[in-house]
Amino acid sequence: MSGAISPAEGAARAEMARLCRSLFERGFSVGTAGNVSVRLEDGILMSPTNVRLGDLIPERISKLDFEGRHVAGDKPTKETFLHQAFYDTRPEAGAVVHLHSTWATALSCLADTDPEDCVPPLTPYVVMRVGTVKLLPYTRPGDPATGTLIRALQGRYAAVLLANHGPVVSGRTLFSAVAAAEELEETARLLVALRGHPTRLLTEAQVADLKATFGTI
């Protein structure tokens, strides 16, 4: 990569490589699936295309400007528009994590998943860390229509499920986005495991209490 980078960007690149490696090693991403980004003061760091999340080299992570132009590092993921849609509609978002994690993807494939609230309030932590999750209609990977669907939500959701594809989670920081993606995956696993069993969800009053105490996503 040509040109000097700031200490803040260098730290962001190192953290991105470390957390992505952790996701990969724990099975949240397989092969070259999934992509991660971090917003900087002068652009967006993006995981490169056709690279496993466990193999990111900090100096080779892609960098785009805010108009989506590739300015440094390796060629970025084909899903750049998906990340940009979150940043453009959620000014508070500092990072976006898109995975093909097993249980969240399974939930996105089930025909009876509620598209308006596809991850119901099973535990307090999914309310606190993820919030309400919208299921978006299927689009081909790499199709800019996915970004259009996310923009149409006008920033109302911190996380979405892409039908038959997987989760996309935003957070104020990369650490919080990764933690939310992990929480979403675990909750999806519980939801699939509990299918066919009488299930007790948190009540509206309990959800309201959590939001009043810990804030909204």
Q: Give residue-wise pLDDT tens across range 92-108.
A: 999 999 999 999 999 99
pLDDT exceeds cutoff 50 at 129: yes
The C-alpha atoms of residue 58 and residue 16 are separated, in whole angstroms, by 8
The pTM of the full predicted model, rounded to 2 decimals, is 0.95
* 152 touches 86 (CB < 8 A): no
pLDDT exceeds cutoff 70 at 115: yes
* Phi and psi, residue 179, nearest 5°: -60, -40
- Collapsed DSSP state (helix, strand, coil) of residue 37: strand
Q: For residue 115, which amino acid is it?
A: P
Q: For residue 129, which amino acid is it?
A: R
pLDDT in tens, 16-56: 999 999 999 999 999 999 999 999 999 999 999 999 999 99
* 2 touches 72 (CB < 8 A): yes
Tell me the two tokens of residue 202: 């948190």
Active site residues: 79, 125
What length does the chain have?
A: 217
Tell me the two tokens of residue 91: 């000014």
* 39 touches 87 (CB < 8 A): yes
Neighbours of 50 (CB within 10 A): 10
pLDDT in tens, 175-211: 999 999 999 999 999 999 999 999 999 999 999 999 9
- The secondary structure of residue 76, as a DSSP letter, is B
The C-alpha atoms of residue 114 and residue 130 are separated, in whole angstroms, by 16
For CA atoms 109, 111, 115, 119, give the dihedral sign. negative
Neighbours of 89 (CB within 10 A): 18
Tell me the two tokens of residue 109: 């494939």
CA 140 from centre of chain: 18
Residues 87, 89, 90: CA angle, nearest 5 degrees: 65
Give the pairing type, strands 159-162 and 133-136. parallel
What CATH topology corresponds to 7-214? L-fuculose-1-phosphate Aldolase (3.40.225)
The C-alpha atoms of residue 147 and residue 85 are separated, in whole angstroms, by 5
